[in-house]
């Protein structure tokens, strides 16, 4: 990490006093991602050994910023050591924001609005900024062409179907892949294809979206990226919302190019399929092959999307061997086991004020954990924070600076993680965790949000959050 500290000091003219790995930021890319801080300043540092991919990200970032797109500013770089420093966009991804603003199929208006903002920007990447982009730096290829599609489909075949033990006729499947590839390439593919346009690659800061992880971008078809966002597995968007967002995207796209919706839709669902298959290949490689089990948590959601497609969509081409393989996936006991493991425990997290009664346990399991946060530093005593809550960035920053808060939270996470593991093992369905402080506005809200963020994405765990005091003053701040 020394090179990142040096880049930080070069840029800010002060040392990095704190360097912390970002939880959950390694993903499937293999990058080391850290937050460096000194004084009141911070930046994100990246270490990654593939020079060509770093070059693509850095050049794309500068190009997109010239077009006024919300991507991170590049502060400094040392390509000889695979290091660069970029703007810190905070901690809230679109995926996390969605998870905190939904109750099952019911998604709060603020989350839908965030998606609409993201969808509205996509054509600017694809068309406006894509016109004069330097495609010579694309890595590993400059187009989503026949070779790129073959890589994705074989990734699915060998790292998902094969490793999951799903039977298939290899020669017949190859014939289907050939037909599918030819059909996909029939769409106009002279636009910028972001490649990984999904909810974890969008950060929300002050309600506005910022975009990351476009280093795999290349020329391609418009349909791919909107399919990536709307069929993003664990985001699990309801079909009706997916359609509404697709319609809105097409309305926005019409401001940039003349096109026929019928022609767009002719190829759209084929791109939905190929994107889901690519994602399954990635889950299989990371989960089955590299034995990183958390990647397999997304498989049930991908299967759910495939089942919906099989029932609701008829492709213009016949792909019998592929459809047989997908049906076999749905019938696979091994994959059904993954699906059943993704269902089970609901963790209900509350914040409240000790001046009022504690939250009641509606599940009938005795109330679970109750943590008293009144021993922690209180932002509510500072005039600048009195009208804010534990969900606001400045309050979060205030509490993040306190060592006692980190120690308290570490102890809480250790206790709750142990219970979650045991509850899952024993088949329990509900766990309740409540955080209380004096006013129920700052510390308890902060801790509830941090625990929810920690647990989201855990296999077999659904998280529901409620801030009792905030609901009384502003119903839109409730997160259940």
Q: What is the DSSP string of 392-461?
A: SHHHHHHHHT-HHHHHHHHHHHHHHHHHHHHHHHHT--EEEEEEEESSSSSHHHHHHHHHHHHHTT-TTE
pLDDT at 343: 55
CATH number at residue 168: 3.90.1200.10
Same domain assignment for residues 153 and 243: yes
Within 48-99, residue ranges assigned H as helices are 51-66, 94-99
Same domain, 268 and 353: no
Question: Does 197 lie in the same domain as 297?
Answer: yes
Q: For the residues of 95-152, what is the DSSP string, one character each?
A: HHHHHTTEETTEE-HHHHHHHHHHHHHHHIIIIITTTT--GGG-SS-SB--HHHHHHH
Q: Tell me how far apart the alpha carbons of residues 339 and 324 are, in angstroms, rounded to a whole number.
A: 20
Q: Give dist(CA 304, CA 280) in Å, integer.
A: 12
Residues 175 and 321 in one domain: yes
454 and 410 assigned to the same domain: yes
Residues 205 and 169 in one domain: yes
Domain shared by 391 and 281, yes or no: no
Q: Which domain-ending residue is among 54, 86, 118?
A: 86
Q: Which residue has the tokens 């767009």?
A: 264
Instruction: Say if CB 444 and CB 399 are below 8 A apart.
Output: no
pLDDT value for 439? 95
| Cα 237 to Cα 148: distance, rounded to the nearest angstrom | 27
pTM of the model: 0.74
Could you tell me if 183 and 278 lie in one domain?
yes
Q: Indicate which CATH number applies to the domain containing 51.
A: 3.30.200
What region, left, alpha or beta, does residue 345 occupy, with left being phi > 0 and alpha being psi -120 to 50 degrees?
A: beta
Do the strands 102-103 and 83-86 form a parallel or antiparallel pair, or are they unpaired?
Answer: unpaired
Q: Tell me which of 281, 306, 341 is where a domain ends.
A: 341
Domain containing residue 411: 345-477
Say whether both 280 and 180 belong to one domain: yes
262 and 189 assigned to the same domain:
yes
* Total domains in the fold of the chain: 3
* pLDDT score for 91: 87
Give the pairing of strands 369-372 and 18-21. Answer: unpaired
Residues of the chain predicted below pLDDT 50 = 24-27, 342, 475-480
b/e map 38-53, b = 16+ CB within 10 Å: beeebbbbbbbeeeeb
**Do 287 and 197 fall within a single domain?**
yes
**Which one of 86, 118, 134 terminates a domain?**
86
Residues 337 and 353 in one domain: no
């Amino acid at each position: 990490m020394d090179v990142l500290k040096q880049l930080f000091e070069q840029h800010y003219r002060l040392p990095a006093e704190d360097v912390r790995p970002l939880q959950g930021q390694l993903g499937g890319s293999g990058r080391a991602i850290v937050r460096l801080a000194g004084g009141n300043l911070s930046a994100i540092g990246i270490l990654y050994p593939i020079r060509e991919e770093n070059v693509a990200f850095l050049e794309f970032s500068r190009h997109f910023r010239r077009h006024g797109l919300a991507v991170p500013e590049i502060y400094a770089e040392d390509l000889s050591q695979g290091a660069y420093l970029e703007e810190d966009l905070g901690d809230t991804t679109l995926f996390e924001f969605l998870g905190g603003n939904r109750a099952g199929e019911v998604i709060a208006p603020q989350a839908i609005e965030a998606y609409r903002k993201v969808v509205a920007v996509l054509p600017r990447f694809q068309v406006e900024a894509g016109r004069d982009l330097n495609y010579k730096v694309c890595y590993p290829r400059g187009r989503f062409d026949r070779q790129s599609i073959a890589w994705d489909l074989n990734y699915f075949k060998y790292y998902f179907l094969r490793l999951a033990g799903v039977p298939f006729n290899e020669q017949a499947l190859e014939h289907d892949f050939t037909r599918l590839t030819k059909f996909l390439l029939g769409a106009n593919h002279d636009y910028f294809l972001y490649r990984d346009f999904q909810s974890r690659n969008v950060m929300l800061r002050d309600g506005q979206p910022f975009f990351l992880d476009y280093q795999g971008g290349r020329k391609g078809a418009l349909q791919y990226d909107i399919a990536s966002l709307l069929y993003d597995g664990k985001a699990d968007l309801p079909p009706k919302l997916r359609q509404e967002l697709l319609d809105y995207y097409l309305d926005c796209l019409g401001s940039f190019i003349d096109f026929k919706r019928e022609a767009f839709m002719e190829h759209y669902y084929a791109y939905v399929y190929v994107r889901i298959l690519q994602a399954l290949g990635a889950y299989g490689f990371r989960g089955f092959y590299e034995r990183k089990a958390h990647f397999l948590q997304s498989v049930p959601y991908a299967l759910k999307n495939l089942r919906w497609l099989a029932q609701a969509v008829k492709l213009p081409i016949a792909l019998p061997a592929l459809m047989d393989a997908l049906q076999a996936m749905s019938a696979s006991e091994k994959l059904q086991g993954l699906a059943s493991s993704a269902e089970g425990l609901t963790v209900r997290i509350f914040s409240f004020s000790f001046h009022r009664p504690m939250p009641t346990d509606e599940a009938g399991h005795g109330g679970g954990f109750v943590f008293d946060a009144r021993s922690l530093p209180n932002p509510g005593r500072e005039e600048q924070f009195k009208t804010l809550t534990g969900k606001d960035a400045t309050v979060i920053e205030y509490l993040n600076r306190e060592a006692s808060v980190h120690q308290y939270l570490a102890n809480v996470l250790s206790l709750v993680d142990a219970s979650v593991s045991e509850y899952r093992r024993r088949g329990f369905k509900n766990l309740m965790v409540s955080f209380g402080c004096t006013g129920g506005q700052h510390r308890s809200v902060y801790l509830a949000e941090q625990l929810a963020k920690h647990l989201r994405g855990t296999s077999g765990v659904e998280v529901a959050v409620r801030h009792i005091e905030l609901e009384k003053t502003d119903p839109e701040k409730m997160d259940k």
